[in-house]
Amino acid sequence: MTQIIQPGEIRPPAQEAPFVRSADRKQVFRRRADRLLQLAAGHPLEPFLMFMSSLAGAQQDALDAIPESSADLAMGLAEHRKRGEPVYPVTDTPLDPLWHQALHSILAAILDSSPEPTRKVIRGLQEMPADELDTLARNLLVGETAMADPAKAPLLAAALQVYRTHLATSLPLEEFGSIRSEQEHHPGNCPVCGSRPDVGIVHAAGPESGLRYLHCSMCESEWHLVRVKCSNCEATTGLSYLGLEGEDGSVKAESCTECNTYLKLLYREKNHELDPVADDLASLALDLLMAEENVLRNGSSLFFIPGEESSSAN
């Protein structure tokens, strides 16, 4: 079959570049915590980024406490794969008590270092019955962030991310290798869990170098999407790229005139340390700029519920 190079694609995907990349479960949240700390210094959102750093550290500890082998791999995996559906769909995978374990571990870890208003929220969640926690979790999992309490959402999302990352990284590697043929799957949804991406990453090392992957906001998996293609409506024309003046160009908004949405792209060739969640949060000014242009954000951010943090960010 002839490979057609998409406009803007630096080179066709190398044979060995995988369609889906799985997170490094030993490091993913620890690296994020370090990156957030680095970004926080002198940043207008310093206290928020510092808090997110301790939250990411607590996420790594919670993930480390879950045995790798405990994911139920028999859980309809082959069934879903056959139908070209996400492997662990967020919408119909039962919530496991493991997510409560992750939540309580995270809450206990950040309680002492949190400011008083956050401590109040933490104590409220610590006392909440499991079924109420599950209801809040389900709303977040299906993307009902509008219904979420902005004070509780980041804490719940942090625990769900740990649980979903645990599931995704417990998949046998050969399963990831075979998640390749679902080219018909909508690029706006994670092939592993069906969630929306938060940002795209243009890699700068290994077989993925020069390729764009979308990063899952929920399970930390990444999937390949050719460059210069809208991840929302798949348009390949009418795209433009906007960065913040005075910045190094490592974060840009890819905006689409067809559907009037944008997705942030992180360019690792400019900075190898860019992290999808940390650098998304630290570049909130770019979201505000896009909001001024009336372009809607495509994809979700679990840690930023619009309307709340934007007011504190002035």
Q: Which of residues 46-105 bind Zn ion (CB under 5 A)?
A: none
* Residues of span 171-190 touching Zn ion by CB under 5 A: 190
Select 134 or 234, whichever has its Cβ closest to Zn ion: 234
User: Who's near 273: CB < 8 A, 6+ residues apart?
Assistant: 35, 38
Residues 182-241 that bind Zn ion (CB under 5 A): 190, 192-193, 195, 216, 218-219, 221, 230, 232-233, 235
Residue 40 or 157: which CB sits closer to Zn ion?
157
Out of 39, 141, 211, 256, name the contact with Zn ion by CB under 5 A: 256
Strand partners, 251: 266
**Shortest distance, CB of residue 201 to Zn ion, whole angstroms?**
14
As measured in angstroms, the least distance from the Cβ of 58 to Zn ion is 21
By the rule CB under 5 A, 278 interacts with Zn ion: no
The minimum distance between CB 88 and Zn ion, in angstroms, equals 8
In angstroms, what is the minimal distance from the CB of 255 to Zn ion?
8
The CB-of-168 to Zn ion minimum distance in angstroms stands at 6
* Smallest separation, CB 259 to Zn ion (Å): 3
- Residue closer to Zn ion by CB (options 122, 137) is 137
CB nearer Zn ion, residue 220 or residue 309: 220
Count the site residues for Zn ion by CB under 5 A: 15
Which residues form the interface with Zn ion (CB under 5 A)? 190, 192-193, 195, 216, 218-219, 221, 230, 232-233, 235, 256, 258-259
